[in-house]
Amino acid sequence: MAKLQEEAGGKSRITMRVDNDVLATFKARAEMIGGNYQTLMNDALKQFAQGLKLSDVVREAIHETLETYLATRSTGHGKKLRAG
């Protein structure tokens, strides 16, 4: 079975336990961007394995969110943020 999984894309099925709040965060993020939480978790693990710093990951996430906000704002479809 493992050999078949390797040949079919290089991914392995695993079972792991994560904190409920961590899972909820990944699921919410996936819903926001229209993706799959498992893919996001895989990407985060891959970035960690490649030695990316948490600050780099956070910076990229903020950059992506800001780009999305500015794009929706410029088309008039986004909600305006209130200062507060």
Residue with tokens 């891959």: 46
Mean pLDDT of the chain: 80
Instruction: Compare 3 and 23 and report the one with higher pLDDT.
Output: 23
* Per-residue confidence (pLDDT) for residue 39, from 0 to 100: 92
- Spatial separation of the C-alpha atoms in residues 42 and 34, rounded to whole Å: 16
- Spatial separation of the C-alpha atoms in residues 17 and 78, rounded to whole Å: 36
> Coil, helix or strand for 80?
coil
* pLDDT at residue 43 tops 60: yes
- Spatial separation of the C-alpha atoms in residues 45 and 82, rounded to whole Å: 34
- Spatial separation of the C-alpha atoms in residues 18 and 47, rounded to whole Å: 18
| pLDDT tens digit sequence for 18-40 | 999 999 999 999 998 888 999 99
Instruction: Compare 20 and 52 and report the one with higher pLDDT.
Output: 20
* Per-residue confidence (pLDDT) for residue 7, from 0 to 100: 61
Q: Where are the domains of the chain?
A: 20-52, 53-84
- Tokens in use for 7? 């040949």
